[in-house]
Chains A and B, each alone.
Chain A
Amino acid sequence: MSAAATLLAATGSLEPAARSFLSPTGQEIVFLLVGIAVLGSAVVAVTTKQLVHAALWLVVALGGLAVEFLLLTAEFIAWVQVLIYLGSVVVLVLFGLMLTKAPIGRSPDADSKNRWVALVVALASAGTLVTLVVDAFRTSWIDLGAGGGSAAVTGASLFRNWVLPFEALSVLLLAALVGAIVLSRGDKRRVPVPRAGKLRAGRPVGSNGTVAATAPKPAAPAAAEPAAAESASAEPEEKS
């Protein structure tokens, strides 16, 4: 009995008559408007032909989501969202786009041939999920209280109840860091595919001059690069 009562108290009130969808509160209106913006920018982000624009639209969508977090009283998470997603992830994505020579401007082949299948699958999953959640949570109501997600509360919870996962996560981050470095350094013996001079600027991080330094007696393919550089520098002399 008491358990059911606490559960009822925890899940908020269940009075559908009092909470009609036709008479939204101000919070809901703001949430709805921001939500439409988020959804719209997300759709543009996944459909636009301009790759860099896609990344920028993603910024809008993720920023909008931060606002939504705020509206759900999770302020700490909202700031984390802004810091990590907007601050680092999108920047990383932009770096990635540039490092892979993503064309600036409209690229007609941004979408693969799989597009129509993808559309069908996405619509189907959207239909299924929306039907499901609407059916399930039609009458649920969130009693939002201020400060539920403040930094103090979140920090206390995090360092009181979630210390161990938190620490484990730090190890995960370290592993990801190391892995990313190892991966992006690449194989030392591999010769980078020769490209036009302009592309040198966008050389991947890691395959820098340390190759020659760390390999005093490099194998033939590794030796090719300095040799090519020497011959390139030697050529003008011969011409002159």
Chain B
Amino acid sequence: MHLAYPVVLAALLFSVGVYGVLARRNAVLVLMSVELMLNAVNLNLVAFDAWLRDSLHAGQALTLFTITVAAAEIGLGLAIVLLLFRARGTADIDRATALGDPAESLAAEETPTGAEALKGQAAA
């Protein structure tokens, strides 16, 4: 099998994950997209393991580790999302902007209108 197939598939999958992370509003969906990216990496690892015929099977072993770490990550991530949701009443990532610079009058003008627009959309 050409190595190019799995590797290109992994690259595209990774980019899809990137899009998801950057574009999704719901934090759970962002975590999902992260899973996609991790899986792209897994695919790479497996493909290279097969290609290199590694005597240690490093690629496969690391894939297992990655899967484990991903599981841990999503558990913790969901816990954090829940905490955020309980504290803020929302799991929307672009509304958790407490670390931003709130003093700017421009932002102060924009934020309410944005929030109102959101509410209007939600109501609709």
In the complex they form, do A and B come into direct contact, defined as C-beta atoms under 8 angstroms apart? yes
* Chain B residues, CB < 8 A from A92: 74-75, 78
Q: Are A111 and B78 in contact (CB under 8 A)?
A: no
* Chain A residues, CB < 8 A from B87: 190
Q: How far is the CA of A97 from the CA of B81 in the complex (A)?
A: 10
* Chain A residues, CB < 8 A from B89: 193
Q: Are A161 and B61 in contact (CB under 8 A)?
A: yes
* Chain B residues, CB < 8 A from A104: none
Q: How far is the CA of A125 from the CA of B37 in the complex (A)?
A: 12
Q: Are A68 and B6 in contact (CB under 8 A)?
A: yes
| Total CB contacts across the A-B interface at under 8 A | 288
Most chain A beta-carbon neighbours within 10 Å: one of B14, B53, B75: B75
Check A204 for interface membership: any CB of B closer than 8 A.
yes
* Chain A residues, CB < 8 A from B121: 108-109
* Chain B residues, CB < 8 A from A62: 35, 39
In addition to A46-B23, A54-B32, A154-B57, 17 A-B residue pairs with Cβ atoms within 8 Å of each other are A51-B29, A55-B32, A76-B60, A77-B63, A89-B71, A93-B78, A97-B26, A133-B8, A137-B3, A149-B57, A161-B57, A166-B65, A173-B68, A173-B71, A180-B79, A183-B76, A183-B79
Interface residues of B (CB under 8 A from A): 1-9, 11-29, 31-33, 35-36, 39, 42-43, 46-47, 49-54, 56-57, 60-61, 63-65, 67-76, 78-83, 85-87, 89, 91-94, 118, 121-122, 124
